[in-house]
Chain A
């Protein structure tokens, strides 16, 4: 893929969330569209360079800079899609005890509560980025990761299961910056566990 790929911005039927205002969602959707636009722009510009034969990174900086920004724009686009997909206005707080995610968290962390405490603490880390619960596709185990910006820290080949945005734009209109934990609490009350469960790959460990 690449050259002829044009991504279309998706839309979500999301509003009236608990503790995340509609205005925040509005600017957040706009920002997401910016990532889609810029991902497409990078691909377009690379297509032009290919047409002009200006690809050698030892001769033109343009090609390198465009490729260098792939990580930021692609991840900025894709992570937001995971994020909005794992939100719902009918959130139930924690997942049900017989759900696949609950069991996977138990298998990986000993208990769901331990997993949750770990995830929340990742979300409180200094800097802007994401807290992501990843699943190792080989062993099925879950682990929580800090991602700086959009592109630093993602684990190659791992599957994003629960994705939480902790950039300032995700909560700064609703909370003072020091109150990020309150936003995280609100985020949890709006999690779409059905979507989260459906992302899990069944493996021997996950079923155990």
Chain B
């Protein structure tokens, strides 16, 4: 997946109009008149045709939820810029918006990693990826078993294979919600959504395992390999 283009909108007091660096950007968030410069995000698009064993309607609904995270991230930015400009940043409203940034940002970004690795019927496992993972788990199969085990943990959230840029290590993490448990500075490599919205509609409340198995059959491992530095 191509990493998102985060385009900083440059907004000047009194100008009232959005100016952008690239010229291709159209703001979804409401207009802000402020000197504060925050990134505005555009939702990425995905094609869910042909995914094997995964219900397209459910994925479209899931995509709508993802758009919600993008919208809320942008909304949070514009509210903050407005409040800062108006000298209203020392308020509980501002604190609440800031407090929720982790949820909205991570909710947005993790879904991009997740949707970005989907491909109808998947791809053969990349050899470089297999070697890297096997160096830590002994074998590819052991890693698959461990990431599945992680994804089967009680609660809702994400199972993520993270790359540590310092030790060059790989480890599977459990993330509660979207924002609790992500190790700072690590690179997300394989990102698996196990919120209820990801599977209940098709697989039922007890169907998380069946969902994971179906999902693993639709992963483009070359995309995952490219995320490895």
Task: List residues of chain A with CB under 8 Å of any chain B CB.
Answer: 27-28, 30-31, 38, 69, 72-73, 126-128, 148-149, 167-169, 172-173, 176-178
Contacts and interface: CB of A to CB of B under 8 A. Distances in A.
B72 interface: yes
Contacts of A127: 103, 177
Interface in B43-83: 61, 64-65, 68, 72
Nearest to B60: A176
A193 B205 CA distance: 29
B206 A30 contact: yes
B139 to A, nearest CB: 25
B201 A173 contact: yes
A168 B199 CA distance: 11
Contact of A126 (B72, B156, B195, B200): B72
A148 B65 CA distance: 19
A25 to B, nearest CB: 11
Given A126-B72, A128-B156, A177 B65 contact: yes
Interface of B: 61, 64-65, 68, 72, 100, 103-104, 154-156, 176-177, 195-197, 200-201, 204-206
Given A31-B205, A168-B197, A169-B205, A177 B61 contact: yes
B65 to A, nearest CB: 6
16 contacts: A27-B204, A30-B205, A72-B154, A126-B72, A126-B103, A128-B156, A149-B155, A149-B156, A149-B176, A167-B196, A169-B196, A172-B201, A173-B201, A176-B64, A177-B65, A177-B197
A177 B176 CA distance: 19
B205 A178 contact: no
A85 B204 CA distance: 24
B56 to A, nearest CB: 14
A72 B61 CA distance: 28
B68 A172 contact: no
A27 B201 CA distance: 11
Contacts of A31: 205
B64 A177 contact: yes
B155 A168 contact: no
Contacts of A177: 61, 64-65, 197
Contacts of A126: 72, 100, 103-104
Rank and list the top 3 A-B pairs by shortest CB-CB distance, nearest first.
A168-B196, A27-B205, A169-B196
Contacts of A72: 154-155
B209 to A, nearest CB: 14
Contact of B200 (A149, A169, A176): A169
B63 to A, nearest CB: 11
Contacts of A169: 196, 200, 205
Contacts of B197: 168, 172, 177
Given A69-B154, A73-B154, A128-B156, A172 B196 contact: yes
A172 B57 CA distance: 13
B89 to A, nearest CB: 21
A179 to B, nearest CB: 11
Contacts of A168: 156, 195-197, 200
Contacts of A172: 196-197, 200-201
Nearest to B62: A177
Nearest to B156: A128
A27 B200 contact: yes
Given A27-B204, A27-B205, A149-B176, A178 B68 contact: yes
Contacts of A167: 156, 196
A168 B205 CA distance: 10
A73 B155 CA distance: 9
B170 to A, nearest CB: 21
A146 to B, nearest CB: 11
